[in-house]
Amino acid sequence: MLVSEAVSRKAEREASRSKWKAAASVVLSEYLVLALCVLYTLVMIPVVPEIATVEVWQNILSDMMPLLIVSLGQTIVLIIAGIDLSVTAIISMASVVGASIMTQSDGYLSGPLAAPAAMAAMLLVGAGIGLLNGLSITRLNMPAFVVTLATTTFFGGCAIWYTTFHSTTTSIYDLPDMFISIGDRDIAGIPIAVIVAVTAALIVHGVLAYTILGRWLYAVGKNPRTAYVSGVPVRTTVMAAFVLSGMLAALASIVYTARLQTGTPILGERILLDVVGAVVIGGTSLFGGKGKVIWTVFGVLFLVLIDTTLKLLGASLFAIYVIKGSVILAAALLDTLRTRYLGVR
C-alpha cells in the first residue's frame, strides 16, 4: 500500500511538473504576445465586427508606426537596465524646433531645402537631449530614472516656451507639403511612415543582433561591473543607448508632426505610458540585459490593438486608460515572475 501510494504520488508530481513545464514554455515563448494578439482579435470579432476589416487594420498599422519607432529606442535603453522618460519631451521639442524652421509663415528657412534641414535639426535635437541624458548618467553617476524625469520636465517646458516665440497659438502651422507627405503618401502602395518605421526597426535589430555595440549593450545591462573588467567601454555604451533613444524619438516626432501637419509642444504628452508599456508587454526586461526588436513590435501591436478595439466599442477615455494600465501591470508582473521564479532572463 505504501509503495503504490508512493508511486501514484510520484506520478502525480511528475504530471504536475510536466504541466508546469508546458505552461512555462508557453509563457516564455517569444511569440506569446503575438499569439495573444491573434487570440484577442478572434475573440473580439463577434463584439466588434469592424476589427475584421482592412480599413481598421490600415489604421492600426498607421497608429503603430510612430509608437514603434519610439519604442525601439526605449528597448535599447531598457536593455542596458536604464529607462528613458524624456522621449515625450524630445518628441515635443523636436516637433516645434523642426516646425519653426520650415513653417511657411515666417520660418527660418524656405525653399526645397527647408524640410530636409528641419528634419536634420529635429534628429539633432533628439541626439542632443539623449547625449545630455547619457552624460548626466555616466559622468555624474545619477540614476537614469531621475535624470530623464528631469530632462522631460525641463524640455517639456522649453518646448512650450519655444513655441511662444514662433506662434500666437499653441502650435506652429503651415508646414511644407514635402514634409507633410511623410504622413500621408505612399511609395508603391506602402505608406512612407511604414517604410521609415520598418527601416528603423531593421537597423535597430541589426545593431542589437550583429554588432559589437549590440553585444556591449546586453553585457552592460546584465552586469556593468563584469563588462568593465572585460574591457567594455561602459560609459560610451550607456551614452550610445541614450543618444539612439533620443534620435529614434526625434524620428518618431517627424512622423507624428507630419501626420498632424503642425508642430506642437504637447505632441508626445500622452504616449509615455504606451512606450514603456509596449516594450515591457513585448517581454523586454525592466531588469536589463534582455530584449528584442521583434518583441517590441508585438508589444506595440498588442497595445494599439487594444486601443483600437476599445475605441470601436465606444469606451470612454478613462476606461481605455484603466484597461491599458491593467495590461501593462500584468506584463510587468509577468516579467518579474519570469526573472524571479523561473530564473529565465
Partner 1 sequence: MQTVQRSSPPLLSVEGITKSFFGVRVLHGVSFELWPGEALGLLGENGSGKSTSMNILGGVHQPDGGRMSLGGVPYAPQSPREASRAGIAFIHQELNLFPNLSIEENLFITDFPKRSGVPFIDRRWMRKRARELLAEVDLDLPPTRLVGNLAQGERQLVEIAKALHADAKVLILDEPTTSLTRREVERLFAIVNRLKSRGVGIIFISHALEDVMHVCERMTVLRDGAVVGTDLRERLSLPGIISMMVGRSIDAIYPERSTGPREEVALRVRNLTQRGVANNISFDIRTGEVVGLSGLMGSGRSELARLIFGLDPLDSGTIEVAGTRLERPGPKASMAAGLAFLTEDRRNEGLLMDASIVDNIGLTFLKRFKVGPGVISGKALNTTAAELARMVHLSTDRVQETLAKHLSGGNQQKVVIAKWLLRRPKVFILDEPTRGIDVGAKQEVYRIINRLVEEGGAVFLISSEIEEVMGLSDRILTINKGEITGAFERSGFDREAILAAAMAPVGPKREAYA
Check residue 215 for interaction with partner 1 (CB under 8 A): yes
> CB under 8 A: which stretch of 92-100, 159-167, 210-218, 326-334 binds partner 1?
210-218
Read off the DSSP letter of residue 30: T
Give me the half-sphere count of Cα atoms (radius 13 Å) on the Cβ side of residue 23: 10
Check residue 29 for interaction with partner 1 (CB under 8 A): no
Check residue 45 for interaction with partner 1 (CB under 8 A): no
Q: Evaluate whether 290 touches 345 at the Cβ level (below 8 Å).
A: yes
Residue 3 makes CB contacts below 8 A (sequence gap 6+) with none
- Choice from 40, 108, 154, 228 touching partner 1 (CB under 8 A): 228
- Torsion, Cα 194 195 200 203, to 10 degrees, reads 140
Q: Evaluate whether 284 touches 292 at the Cβ level (below 8 Å).
A: yes
Kindly tell me which of 13 and 185 has the beta carbon lying closer to partner 1.
Answer: 13
Kindly tell me which of 213 and 312 has the beta carbon lying closer to partner 1.
Answer: 213
Check residue 28 for interaction with partner 1 (CB under 8 A): no
Shortest distance in whole angstroms from residue 133 CB to partner 1: 22
| Residue among 82, 87, 345, 68 nearest 237 (CA) | 82
- Choice from 139, 210, 330, 342 touching partner 1 (CB under 8 A): 210
Read off the DSSP letter of residue 49: G
87's grid cell:
522621449
Check residue 35 for interaction with partner 1 (CB under 8 A): no
Site string for partner 1, 68-87 (x = CB under 8 A): --------------------
- Choice from 7, 26, 229, 319 touching partner 1 (CB under 8 A): 229
Site for partner 1 in 96-115 (CB under 8 A): none
Residue 204 makes CB contacts below 8 A (sequence gap 6+) with 72, 75, 76, 244, 248, 293
Shortest distance in whole angstroms from residue 245 CB to partner 1: 18
Q: Rounded to an integer, what distance in angstroms lies between the CA atom of residue 12 and that of residue 339? A: 27
Number of residues that bind partner 1 (CB under 8 A): 29
Provide DSSP, 240-289. HHHHHHHHHHHHHHHHHHHHHTSB-TTTTTT-HHHHHHHHHHHT--TTSS
Main-chain phi, psi angles of 281, to 5 degrees: -60, -40
- Choice from 73, 98, 107, 289 touching partner 1 (CB under 8 A): 289
Check residue 211 for interaction with partner 1 (CB under 8 A): yes
Q: Rounded to an integer, what distance in angstroms lies between the CA atom of residue 181 and that of residue 203? A: 23
> CB under 8 A: which stretch of 48-56, 77-85, 94-102, 227-235 binds partner 1?
227-235
- Return the residue matching grid coordinates 466588434: 48
- Choice from 227, 276, 280, 303 touching partner 1 (CB under 8 A): 227
- Choice from 29, 153, 169, 226 touching partner 1 (CB under 8 A): 226
Shortest distance in whole angstroms from residue 20 CB to partner 1: 11
Return residues touching partner 1 (CB under 8 A).
6, 10, 13, 21, 206, 209-213, 215-216, 218-219, 222-223, 225-233, 289-290, 343, 345
